[in-house]
C-alpha cells in the first residue's frame, strides 16, 4: 500500500517536474512545480520524515512558490515575451542530454548497487522527530544554525537594497 503510494507520487513528481521544464508560460511552470513539491512531500512522509514533509509544504509551496507567483504577476510577462518553450537550436542538445541521462539511469538500474530498504519499520513519530531535530540543530550544528540565520539577514538586506535602488532611480527620472 505505502509502496504503491510511493511509486505513484514519485511518478507524479517526475512528470510535473518535466512540466516545469516544458511548459510554455511561466505560470504553468510554477503550478507544475507546486504539484511536483506536493508529490515530493508525500515521498518524504512515506520515507519517515514528517517534519520535513511539513516544512516542504510550508516553506516551499507556501513561501518560495508564492514569491515566484508574485514576481510573475508583477512583471506581466505575457506582454513582455511569450516566455517561449525551448528554442529550436537547443532542442537537439536537450534531446541528447535526455538520452545521456536515460542511458546513465538505465546503467545505474542495471548495476543496481543493492541499497536495500532499512530493516524494520521506522521509529513511530518519524525519523526527524522534533526533539531529536532540535537537539541536533542546537547541539552539534549550532554554528551552522547561526550562520543560516545570518545568511537570511544578509539576504533580506540585499533584497531591500536591490529593490530600493531601482525605485529611487526611476523616481528621480520622473
Window 33-62: residues binding other proteins (CB under 8 A): 33, 36-37, 40, 43-44, 46-49, 51-52, 55-56, 59-60
Residue (159 or 172) nearer to other proteins, CB: 159
- Which residues in 66-105 contact other proteins (CB under 8 A)? 67-68, 71-72, 74-75, 77, 80-81, 83-84, 86-87, 90-91, 93-94, 97-98, 101, 104-105
CA 172 and chain centroid, separation = 38
Least Cβ distance, residue 93 to other proteins (angstroms): 7
| 110 counts as binding other proteins under rule CB under 8 A | no
Least Cβ distance, residue 172 to other proteins (angstroms): 13
Where b means 16+ CB within 10 Å and e means fewer, 146-157 reads eeeeeeeeeeee
Q: CB-hemisphere CA count at 13 Å for 149? A: 7
- Which residues in 133-152 contact other proteins (CB under 8 A)? 133, 136-137, 141, 144, 148, 151-152
Least Cβ distance, residue 171 to other proteins (angstroms): 12
Where b means 16+ CB within 10 Å and e means fewer, 62-73 reads eeebeeeeeebe
Least Cβ distance, residue 51 to other proteins (angstroms): 7
Interface with other proteins (CB under 8 A), residue from 88, 121, 173, 174: 121
Supply the angle between the helices 65-75 and 26-47 in degrees, to the nearest 10.
180
In sequence order, the 6+-apart residues with CB closer than 8 A to the CB of 23 are: 29, 32, 85
Least Cβ distance, residue 80 to other proteins (angstroms): 6
In sequence order, the 6+-apart residues with CB closer than 8 A to the CB of 144 are: none
Size of the site for other proteins (CB under 8 A): 90
- Residues comprising the chain, all counted: 174
Interface with other proteins (CB under 8 A), residue from 30, 42, 57, 61: 30
CA dihedral sign of residues 91, 93, 94, 99? positive
Amino acid at each position: 500500500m505505502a509502496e504503491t503510494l510511493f511509486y505513484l507520487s514519485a511518478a507524479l513528481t517526475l512528470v510535473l517536474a518535466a512540466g516545469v521544464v516544458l511548459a510554455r508560460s511561466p505560470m504553468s511552470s510554477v503550478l507544475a512545480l507546486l504539484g511536483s513539491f506536493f508529490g515530493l512531500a508525500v515521498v518524504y512522509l512515506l520515507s519517515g520524515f514528517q517534519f520535513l514533509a511539513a516544512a516542504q509544504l510550508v516553506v516551499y509551496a507556501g513561501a518560495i512558490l508564492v514569491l515566484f507567483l508574485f514576481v510573475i504577476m508583477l512583471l506581466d510577462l505575457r506582454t513582455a515575451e511569450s516566455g517561449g518553450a525551448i528554442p529550436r537550436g537547443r532542442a537537439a542538445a536537450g534531446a541528447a542530454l535526455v538520452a545521456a541521462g536515460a542511458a546513465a539511469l538505465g546503467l545505474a538500474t542495471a548495476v543496481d548497487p543493492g541499497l536495500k530498504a532499512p530493516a524494520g519499520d521506522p521509529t513511530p513519530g518519524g525519523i526527524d522527530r522534533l526533539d531529536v531535530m532540535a537537539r541536533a540543530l542546537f547541539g552539534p550544528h549550532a554554528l551552522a544554525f547561526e550562520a543560516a540565520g545570518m545568511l537570511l539577514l544578509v539576504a533580506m538586506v540585499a533584497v531591500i537594497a536591490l529593490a530600493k535602488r531601482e525605485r529611487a532611480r526611476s523616481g528621480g527620472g520622473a
